[in-house]
Structure 1
Amino acid sequence: MPYKQQFPVFAFASLLLGGIAIGFAGILMRLSDVSPLASAFWRMALALPLLWGWAWAVRAQDTRNGLRTDYSRVLLLAGIFFAADMGIWHLSLHYTTVSNATLLSNFAPIFIALWLWAVHRMRFARVFMVGMVIALLGAVLLIGPNAALGGTKLLGDGLGLSTAVFYAGYQLVIKDARNQYSTARLMAWSTTITAVFLLPFALAMPGAFWPAQAAGWLPLLGLAVVAQVGGQTVIAYALAHLPASLASVSLLIQPLTATIAAWIIFHEVIGPLQMVGGAILLLGIYLSKRGS
């Protein structure tokens, strides 16, 4: 009888939990009483002790595996892209709904594919092209009501979409760096660099940098522990043990979580047109990932 590979149940459960954890990032940011960029900075800064503790714990294993433990320019580039992604995304949450900001940030796979096509002349299956067109249609329907109103809502949607460009750059850099660094070392370095780049902008932005009360640290700690350490780390583990196609569709639980949580906690109501647009957008992203 041929050997049947066992389905990695733990990795799949980890992926879903990681997606749910990151889905709460927008909720925790809204619950904080500091400025959007300050919340992005504290998300990184408060995660650093845990991440560097993890990196220190596996340093001997990294050395045995021939992995780098020093600093390099690829880490700097990863930190710059992630700082732009986090800073702009947290800012978008200040202007638009949690649902829109999260859904539009999921455009990253399409921007990655466009980069690979433009720079490396990589060809994609027809299903990718169909998925991209469907995703663009969904984005138009999702943004449409805010475009009609104009003002800060449309600005927030635009910022949410632009984060996908920087997150795509971050993923492309990280993909190359994973052959040189362990996940622990990579996350510790990139998060440190991200925090350094966010700090001056967080200090310069109008609004509070420090929480007004002790309880104000709780949402920021939640961002650091739940979203940054828990979500990103668990997803990094799961992606190493699951097929890319399964991982891509499973991670769509992130915007679904954000939408439901924002509806329950903040009573964010999504109109019928935006519901349809969001569903079409997710379908388009899924098809694009399948064909890329």
Structure 2
Amino acid sequence: MKDLRSSERTSLPPAAHPVLLIAVVLGGIAAISCASILIRLADAPPLTVAAYRVTLAALVVVPVHFTKNIRNHRQAKTLNARAIRVTLLAGVFLAFHFILWISSLSFTSVASSATLVSTTPIFVAFFSFLFLKAKPSRRLLSAILCTLAGSTVLAGYDGTVSPDAVKGDVLALSGAVMASGYLIAGRFARQYLDISSYTAGAYGTAALVLVPASLITGTPLTGFSHNTYLLLVLIALIPQLIGHTAFNWSLRVLSPTQVSLLILGEPVGATLLAYFVLAESLTLQRFMGLAILAVGILAGASSADSREHGQGT
């Protein structure tokens, strides 16, 4: 992916102000932490939730993209074709990530699902090294191992929640693999596309996968209560439009591994929200897992991983 000339890139700023970056990331973490709770409260099939989530988000960002490019004909003409193809691939990864992860919430607890799907940094680092030859620093690897330990501690209790917990855990881990592809593709595309172009392509593609999938499988898209429709709108607005877009924006200046580590703030917020909203127990073991996760997140977020950045992921 190094063969693209730097002159083909959009005229985006090479870096973001640290305060702005921190604010965007913290806002993204807070937004995605609501996802598990809202999904559990919504009385709708997993595929329906996923389809509504990306479709409603796409209905917001696609018009913004086209309006912006109508005003800026030059930018529209210089959109990188390869980056557009990678963006479409990112949308496919996003669609399958949602199918797998949201399905896991029907079999396992919020804390375990959010934690296991957030093992994404492990897969991001592995695939970045395998396909992009991007070698993470020792500090970043240590952070990944730390977060893995925290995830293991936090998820260890799951057998007492549901007899189908193992199935839910496998679905969540599979969702993590899809999320890693989404982030790696997003990192590359964001070097050449602005945030409106990238989100329009990725969310729009995911919608074009999930809506037909719902129709083909006979999954209902209508007939829900007013409360469920409201929850579906909130899922699209908060975790997707605010949360995902915040992290997609940060991919312009951070590596996919660093972003995936920051996303690990989700199980912390999701577990606390599940305690207050869904009355899921908050044991000493969970506190220990959350504490270990927090250490790994801070270590990964502060790592200056110049080698991974240098690979042009």
Q: What range describes the TM-score normalised by the shorter chain of this pair?
A: 0.7 to 0.9
1:111-150 equivalent positions in 2, closer than 5 A: 111-146=123-158
| C-alpha contact 1:35 1:202 (8 A) present in aligned 2 | no
1:52 aligns with 2:52: no
State the Cα deviation string for residues 15-72 of structure 1 (Å, max 9, x = none). Answer: 2122211111111111211101110111111222211121122114654346428794
Partner of 2:30: 20
Distance change >3 Å, CA 249–CA 194, structure 1 → 2? closer
Partner of 1:162: 174
| C-alpha contact 1:11 1:241 (8 A) present in aligned 2 | no
Identity %: 28
Partner of 1:98: 110
Distance change >3 Å, CA 206–CA 139, structure 1 → 2? farther
Partner of 1:190: 202
Which amino acid counterpart does residue 32 of structure 2 have in structure 1? I
1:270 partner SS: coil
Moved more, 74-83 or 136-145: 136-145
Deviation at 1:248, TM superposition (A): 6.9
Deviation at 1:144, TM superposition (A): 2.5
Distance change >3 Å, CA 146–CA 231, structure 1 → 2? closer
Partner of 1:68: 79
Partners of 2:136 and 2:226 in 1: CA distance: 52
| C-alpha contact 1:15 1:239 (8 A) present in aligned 2 | no
Moved more, 109-118 or 55-64: 55-64
1:77 aligns with 2:67: no
- 179, 184, 188: which one pairs with 1:172? 184
| C-alpha contact 2:113 2:168 (8 A) present in aligned 1 | yes
1:58 partner SS: helix
2:156 partner SS: helix
State the Cα deviation string for residues 70-96 of structure 1 (Å, max 9, x = none). Answer: 794323311111111111111111222
| C-alpha contact 1:25 1:227 (8 A) present in aligned 2 | yes
| C-alpha contact 1:81 1:166 (8 A) present in aligned 2 | yes
2:288 partner SS: helix
Partners of 2:161 and 2:44 in 1: CA distance: 27
| C-alpha contact 2:190 2:251 (8 A) present in aligned 1 | no
TM-score, scaled to structure 1? 0.83
Which amino acid counterpart does residue 49 of structure 1 have in structure 2? L
1:151 partner SS: coil
Moved more, 201-210 or 230-239: 201-210
Deviation at 1:179, TM superposition (A): 3.0
Distance change >3 Å, CA 119–CA 188, structure 1 → 2? closer
Partners of 1:257 and 1:110 in 2: CA distance: 21
Name the count of aligned residue pairs: 288
Deviation at 1:100, TM superposition (A): 1.8
- 271, 278, 281: which one pairs with 1:259? 271
Partner of 1:202: 214
Partners of 2:17 and 2:61 in 1: CA distance: 29
| C-alpha contact 2:118 2:260 (8 A) present in aligned 1 | no
Partner of 2:235: 223
State the Cα deviation string for residues 102-142 of structure 1 (Å, max 9, x = none). Answer: 22222222211112223344433333443343333333323
Moved more, 236-245 or 146-155: 236-245
Which amino acid counterpart does residue 101 of structure 2 have in structure 1? W
Which amino acid counterpart does residue 142 of structure 1 have in structure 2? L
| C-alpha contact 1:93 1:156 (8 A) present in aligned 2 | yes
Deviation at 1:286, TM superposition (A): 4.7
Deviation at 1:217, TM superposition (A): 0.8
Distance change >3 Å, CA 95–CA 204, structure 1 → 2? farther
Which amino acid counterpart does residue 13 of structure 1 have in structure 2? A
Partners of 1:207 and 1:168 in 2: CA distance: 27
1:268 partner SS: coil
Partner of 2:4: none
Moved more, 98-107 or 202-211: 202-211
Which amino acid counterpart does residue 96 of structure 1 have in structure 2? T
Partner of 2:283: 271
Unaligned runs of 5+ in 1: 1-5
- 43, 46, 52: which one pairs with 1:36? 46
